[in-house]
């Protein structure tokens, strides 16, 4: 039951009606008997500043930030984590009322890395990761993977965007990434350990699309998709047929949520709790 001590959390975005975060976090609060609640807020760009400062004034504990505000919200943050600075986007805000700070974090990349590590049963050091995409989601995964000393190859429909990320990485981290083009696509895929679709290809309603055709998917790799609707994308279906170990977008979503909970509440999220979060998300996806 809510009372004056209830900790308030939420997600801001636009549109927000299909957000899975409220059911995911509410399941944790219920399981752990934490006096907290989590709401979805539809916030227009013009109201973003008021929304952040309003949440601060109302003593919210934390917010998630989603499309289209992950970059524009940077203007209203007064402290930023190293990772969010590198990714240049914030998906988690913590309101610190002791230091009077609005602190921005990014848990998207870490969430993806944790999901992979759980499935690999080991760290990413020295692993070769092949990423399709050069948008916001790809950026988050690329920078977090580099922080974990993985090797990165990037393929994007628009090669120039991949090159821009590569140049930025060289400048800011002094690391090299491979930019993949059509002529070396197959070789680079064969040479990688983990293949990730970080594009929106295959997302509902375009469920018959895969970022690559079956003959390009090598046998026995670890394959991940950031798309969670449908839970099993065409790309993952094809990867299974090639005996790959697949990680779906729900896992990435759940692990980024778990990272947010660590930041807000110092909560250690074990695999049992991860399972509860996943179940809540899957049930909501099936109901929708
Ligand atoms: P997000 O923040 O979710 O990553 P985004 O920044 O709009 O979204 O990026 C979308 C990514 O999906 C981009 O890499 C985009 O490729 P382009 O840079 O060429 O636009 C990729 N993408 C979207 N639709 C695609 C399609 N039909 N085929 C291939 N790539 C696609």
169 alpha carbon – ligand 1 mean position (Å): 19
Domain extent for 156: 109-247
Beta strand pairing status for 62-65 and 7-13? parallel
Please tell me the residue having the least CA distance from ligand 1 atom 21: 199
Q: Which residue owns the Cα nearest ligand 1 atom 14? A: 133
Q: How far apart are CA 101 and CA 220, in angstroms?
A: 47
Residue 55 has pLDDT above 80, yes or no: yes
- Residue 282 lies inside a defined structural domain of this protein: yes
Q: Is 248 exposed, middle or buried (0-12, 13-18, 19+ CB in 10 A)?
A: buried
Report strand pairing: 36-42 vs 79-80: unpaired
Same domain, 118 and 178: yes
d(CA 61, CA 30): 17
Report the pLDDT value the prediction gives residue 123, as an integer from 0 to 100. Answer: 83
- Do 113 and 240 belong to one domain? yes
Q: Is 135 in the pocket of ligand 1 (CB under 6 A)?
A: yes
CB 51 within 8 A of CB 82: no
Torsion of CA 278, 282, 284, 285, to 10 degrees: 140
From the CB of 202, is ligand 1 less than 6 Å away? no
**pLDDT surpassing 80 at residue 178:** yes
- pLDDT value at 262 more than 80: yes
Asked if residue 113 and residue 92 are part of one domain, the reply reads no
Tokens of 197: 């679709």
203 occurs within a structural domain: yes
First to last CA, the chain: 26
pTM for this model (two decimals): 0.95
Same domain, 133 and 11: no
Please list the active-site residues. 70
Q: Ligand 1: which of 70, 89, 139, 199 to mutate, judged by most atoms within 8 Å of the beta carbon?
A: 199
Which residue's CA is the closest to the ligand 1 atom numbered 18? 158
Q: How does residue 287 score in pLDDT terms, banded at 50, 70 and 90?
A: confident
Mean residue pLDDT across the chain: 96
Residue 227 lies in a domain: yes
Model pLDDT for residues 154-175, shown as the tens digit of each residue:
999 999 999 999 999 999 999 9
Answer whether 229 contacts ligand 1 (Cβ < 6 A): no
Which is the closest atom of ligand 1 to the Cα of 133?
Answer: 14
pLDDT tens-digit profile of 125-156?
999 999 999 999 999 999 999 999 999 999 99
Closest CA to 61 of 24, 96, 91, 104: 96
10-32 average pLDDT score: 97
Determine if ligand 1 sits within 6 Å of the CB of residue 137: yes
| 1 is a domain residue | no
CB of 201 closer than 6 angstroms to any ligand 1 atom: yes
Closest ligand 1 atom number to CA of residue 134: 14
Where helices occur in 38-174 by DSSP H, the ranges are 48-57, 82-87, 108-120, 136-147, 159-173
My answer on whether 96 and 166 are in the same domain is no
């Amino acid at each position: 039951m809510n009372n004056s001590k209830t900790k308030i959390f939420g997600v801001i975005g636009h549109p927000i009606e299909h957000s899975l975060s409220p059911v995911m976090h509410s399941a944790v609060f219920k399981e752990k008997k934490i006096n907290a609640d989590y709401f979805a807020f539809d916030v227009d760009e013009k109201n973003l500043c008021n929304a952040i400062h309003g949440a601060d004034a109302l003593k919210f504990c934390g917010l998630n930030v989603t499309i289209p505000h992950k970059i524009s919200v940077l203007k209203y943050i007064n402290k930023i984590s190293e990772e969010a600075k590198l990714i240049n986007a914030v998906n988690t805000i913590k309101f610190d009322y002791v230091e009077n700070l609005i602190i921005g974090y990014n848990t998207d990349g870490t969430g993806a890395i944790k999901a992979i590590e759980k499935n690999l049963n080991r760290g990413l050091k020295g692993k070769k990761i092949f990423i399709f995409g050069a948008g916001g989601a790809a950026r988050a995964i690329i920078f977090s993977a580099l922080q974990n000393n993985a090797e990165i190859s990037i393929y994007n429909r628009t090669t120039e965007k991949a090159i821009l990320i590569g140049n930025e990485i060289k400048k800011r981290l002094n690391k090299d990434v491979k930019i993949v083009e059509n002529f070396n696509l197959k070789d680079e895929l064969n040479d990688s350990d983990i293949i990730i679709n970080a594009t929106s290809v295959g997302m509902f309603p375009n469920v018959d699309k895969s970022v690559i055709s079956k003959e390009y998917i090598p046998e026995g790799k670890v394959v991940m998709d950031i798309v969670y609707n449908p839970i099993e994308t065409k790309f993952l279906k094809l990867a299974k047929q090639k005996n790959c170990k697949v990680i779906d977008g729900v896992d990435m979503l759940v692990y980024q949520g778990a990272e947010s909970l660590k930041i807000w509440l110092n909560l250690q999220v074990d695999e049992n709790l991860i399972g509860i979060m996943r179940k809540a998300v899957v049930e909501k996806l099936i109901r929708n």
